[in-house]
């Protein structure tokens, strides 16, 4: 590996860490550390060659699962490649690498020492450093061909590409703008499923979990301070960060979800759309009118706001600055 490649790789690890911290995640231990391989034969290069090296971990994060209530430890591998260097086989090698690391992390004494007991989740952050050439459809085709090893104990590996990473940057940016303005107490919202026979209650947390980050909508709540005739009022604001084509049909489908989770229970409901959705301008407006009409009939005073997230073409430079 050339010095430049090494530099770019380290820089991407720092940027990955900044992005995940921006999403509210807490890092465990340090960046770039090793754990012993406990399955040297299984993780060997070939049948006759046992593994000699330890497993390298770029980043380790932990958050509390809002539904399961236990701590989730996540092995994060950051990969930095040109578009031509991304293929099914390269992604497969990343997946195998993280899969093996997870198997040994799950029983690692080194990780137990820092209160990380049990690991079954990995996140591979694959950044194509030629963002203009990145093709999400082709990338998804690569993913479709990935072979997932079958294990009795479930293991889940998330693959984030430019597609997801730039969207996450936009969410962080929107949150920061809201907090820099007149909003406070911004939290990611995890709806309850009590009413459908589930056992989870609604929770608000500072962080967005992986299932949330790989969803089509992200729910969040905040408080907005407004001054009216000299009196300060705190308004409850419910946010929906929306990452899909906002067709009329899709928006009505989302709205049926909002009713289900009683998300109209606020002063303001803000839809944050991502990307160029001008094609759907008419459908969005009609949807807004339709909801307003329904709210009027039901006697609700909920206000609807439509906002558009800023779209980044590259990772903001500030994410490459390491604190401390």
Partner 1 sequence: MQLKKYPYKNNIKKVVEKYISLKDMQSLLKPKGILISATKRVDIANLTKDYYLSQNDFQELKQLLDSPNNFKKIGRIILPANESEDFKESLSGLNGRVLDPTDNTKINIGIVDDNKMTVYLQYEEQRPGLVELLETKKKNIVIDIENSEELCNVNYSISSASDYKKVKELLNYIQQDSSFTFKELLLSDLKTENRTELFTNFFVFFFDEWKITKITQIKKKKDTSYTSEELSVSVSESEDLAMQTENQLMQEVILDGINSALLSGENLIENSFINKVLTQGFYFSMSFIRFENKNNSDFLDFVIEFKTRPERLETKIIESGEFVTDENQDIVEIKRIFSEEKQNQIIYEFNDILGEIFMGFSQPQSIEVSTQ
The one among 14, 107, 114, 155 contacting partner 1 by CB under 8 A: 155
Q: Is 95 in the site for partner 1 (CB under 8 A)?
A: yes
Helix (H) or strand (E) holding 50: none
The angle formed by the CA atoms of residues 82, 88 and 90, to the nearest 5 degrees, is 55
Q: Reading across the β-sheet that carries 71-81, which strands appear in turn?
A: 26-27, 59-64, 71-81, 121-128
- Return the number of the residue (2 or 256) whose C-beta is nearest partner 1: 256
Residue 272 interacts with partner 1 (CB under 8 A)? no
Token pair 């082709």 is found at: 138
Determine if 76 is a binding residue for partner 1 (CB under 8 A): no
Q: For residues 13 and 161, which CB has a smaller minimum distance to partner 1 in the complex?
A: 161
Looking at beta carbons only, is 29 or 254 nearer to partner 1? 254
Tally of CB atoms within 10 A around 56 = 12
Contact status: 67 vs partner 1 (CB under 8 A): yes
* CA–CA dist 253, 264 (Å, integer): 15
Question: For residues 97 and 224, which CB has a smaller minimum distance to partner 1 in the complex?
Answer: 97
Toward partner 1, which CB reaches closer, 252 or 282? 252
The distance from CA 61 to its chain's CA centroid, rounded to whole angstroms, is 13
d(CA 236, CA 171): 19
Q: Does 42 bind partner 1 (CB under 8 A)?
A: no
**277, 18, 275: which is closest to 125 by C-alpha?**
18
Which residues 6+ apart lie within 8 Å of 227 measured at CB?
Answer: 233
Contacts with partner 1, 216-235, as mask; x by CB under 8 A: xxxx----------------
The residue (of 3 and 144) whose beta carbon lies closer to partner 1 is 144
* DSSP letter (8 states) at residue 270: E
138 binds partner 1 (CB under 8 A): no
By the 10 Å C-beta count (0-12 exposed, 13-18 middle, 19+ buried), 323 is classed as: exposed
| 4 binding partner 1? (CB under 8 A) | no
Residue 279 binds to partner 1 (criterion: CB under 8 A): no
233 to 252, contacts with partner 1 by CB under 8 A? 244, 249-250, 252
Determine phi and psi for 188, rounding to 5 degrees.
-75, 140
Determine, following the binding rule CB under 8 A, whether residue 253 of this chain makes contact with partner 1.
yes
Rule CB under 8 A: choose which of 52, 154, 180, 230 binds partner 1. Answer: 154
Alpha carbon distance 114, 174 (integer Å) = 33
> Is residue 196 involved in binding partner 1 (CB under 8 A)?
yes
Contact between 122 and 157 (Cβ < 8 Å):
yes
Binding segment for partner 1 (CB under 8 A), chosen from 22-30, 111-119, 153-161, 262-270, is 153-161
**Three-state DSSP class for 244?**
coil
- How many residues touch partner 1 (CB under 8 A)? 46
Cβ atoms of 286 and 248 closer than 8 Å: yes
User: What are 233's strand-pairing partners?
Assistant: 226
Q: Which of residues 37, 75, 119, 160 is near partner 1 by CB under 8 A? A: 160
Work out how close the CB of 212 gets to partner 1 at its nearest, in angstroms, rounded to a whole number: 8
Nearer to partner 1 among residue 33 and residue 158 (C-beta): 158
| Look-up of token digits 């008419």 | 282
- The site for partner 1 (CB under 8 A) is made up of 67, 95, 99, 140-141, 143-144, 146, 148-152, 154-161, 164, 193, 195-198, 200, 209, 211-212, 214-219, 244, 249-250, 252-254, 256-257, 260
């Amino acid at each position: 590996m050339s010095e430049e490649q090494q530099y770019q790789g380290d820089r991407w690890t720092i940027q990955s860490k900044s992005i995940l911290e921006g999403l509210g995640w807490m890092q465990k231990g340090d960046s770039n550390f090793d754990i012993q391989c406990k399955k040297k034969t299984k993780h060997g290069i070939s049948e006759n060659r046992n593994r000699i090296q330890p497993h390298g971990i770029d980043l380790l994060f932990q958050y509390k699962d809002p539904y399961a209530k236990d701590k989730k430890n996540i092995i994060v591998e950051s990969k930095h490649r040109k578009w031509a260097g991304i293929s099914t086989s390269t992604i497969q090698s990343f997946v195998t690498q993280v899969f093996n690391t997870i198997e040994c992390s799950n029983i690692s004494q080194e990780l137990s020492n820092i209160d990380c007991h049990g690991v079954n989740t990995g996140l591979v952050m694959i950044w194509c450093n030629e963002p203009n050439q990145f093709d999400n459809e082709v990338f998804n085709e690569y993913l479709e061909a990935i072979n997932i090893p079958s294990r009795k104990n479930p293991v889940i590996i998330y693959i984030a590409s430019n597609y997801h990473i730039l969207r996450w940057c936009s969410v962080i940016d929107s949150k920061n703008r809201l907090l820099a303005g007149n909003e406070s107490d911004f939290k990611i919202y995890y709806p309850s499923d009590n009413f459908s026979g589930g056992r989870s209650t609604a929770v608000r947390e500072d962080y967005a979990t992986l299932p949330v980050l790989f969803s089509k909508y992200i729910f969040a709540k905040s408080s907005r301070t407004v001054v009216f005739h000299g009196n300060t009022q705190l308004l409850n604001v419910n946010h929906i960060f929306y990452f899909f084509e906002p067709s009329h049909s899709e928006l009505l489908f989302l709205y049926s979800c909002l009713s289900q989770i009683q998300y109209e229970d606020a002063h303001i409901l803000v839809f944050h759309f991502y990307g160029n959705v001008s094609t759907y301008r008419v459908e969005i407006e009609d949807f807004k009118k339709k909801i307003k009409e329904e709210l009027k009939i039901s006697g609700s005073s909920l206000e609807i706001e439509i906002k558009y997230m800023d779209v980044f073409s590259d990772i903001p430079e500030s994410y490459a600055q390491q604190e401390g």
